[in-house]
Amino acid sequence: MANNREIVVTGGGTGIGYAVASAFAQAGERVTITGRREKVLTEAATLAGARPVVFDAADPAAVEAALEELPGGVDVLVNNAGGNTDLLDGDGDGEEGLAGFAAAFERNLRSNVVSAALVTHALRDRLAEGARIITIGSIAAHTGAGSYGAAKAAVEGWNVSVAREFGSRGITANVVAPGLIGETEFFHGKLSDRRRDRLIGNTMNQRAGTPDDVVAVVTFLASPAAGHVTGQVVHVNGGAYLGN
């Protein structure tokens, strides 16, 4: 992996995003992490050796306001911000019926698709020749998980357009789609032992993934060696889903 590049990792305060940011920083890269929670992000940046920029990646005004704090040139953009908003306590807006269903559906779309699209579009003119765009997807795009699965499926379709848009500049765009990954806050304490055992049982190697499993694929896709890999979805799930 080349070093001394400018790396931006959205949702870099915890879990996969933090692990990715930390790996880049340890390799000597200049890393900026973003997120909504100032305290979490600041502490993570100190531990990882990164620079924090606090904003909500799904909010156009917040992204616009944060641009002056983001690097003027970007070599690697990792769109990691997102998650299943249906698992967040207190994230509802009190609406019921179809209005409530639509609002919940739209929250997942904003959190996972709109966030990646907004940040990528905002940084489009700052992306260096030969830059790398890597977006974190999910096995849920193929195995289903309500609006979250739909959002991650949309990420894959959007990624193809991004790869085509930036390809003439030598910029690649790929999705890394994890299955069950331990050591993250993704499930917010709502993963039962029974479901965890079932998800592990679906794998061929009979274990949950780790953030480092995802880091290994992200860092490869960010490397000069991956210059002819673009528009792809790389599955990191122990064989729980076999990508085409």
The 10s digit of each residue's pLDDT in 55-75 is 999 999 999 999 999 999 999
**Do 234 and 176 touch, CB atoms closer than 8 A?**
yes
**pLDDT tens series, the chain, 244 aa:** 457 899 999 999 999 999 999 999 999 999 999 999 999 999 999 999 999 999 999 999 999 999 999 999 999 999 999 988 887 755 555 678 999 999 999 999 999 999 999 999 999 999 999 999 999 999 999 998 899 999 999 999 999 999 999 999 999 999 999 999 877 555 455 556 776 687 777 888 988 889 999 999 999 999 999 999 999 999 999 998 887 6
Q: How far apart are CA 239 and CA 34, in angstroms?
A: 31
**Do 116 and 45 touch, CB atoms closer than 8 A?**
no
> Nearest CA to 76 among 217, 218, 195?
218
The number of angstroms, rounded, from the C-alpha of 62 to the middle of its chain's C-alpha atoms is 18
Q: What is the 3-state secondary structure (H, E, C) of 183-218?
A: CCCCCCCCCCHHHHHHHHHCCCCCCCECHHHHHHHH
Q: Which residues are catalytic?
A: 148
State pLDDT tens for residues 137-149.
999 999 988 999 9
pTM: 0.93
Q: How far apart are CA 31 and CA 12, in angstroms?
A: 10
- Residues ≥6 apart with Cβ < 8 Å to 153: 141, 142
Q: How far apart are CA 80 and CA 70, in angstroms?
A: 16
| CATH 3.90.480.20 is held by the domain 6-236 | no
Q: How far apart are CA 232 and CA 175, in angstroms?
A: 6
Q: Where are the domains of the chain?
A: 6-236
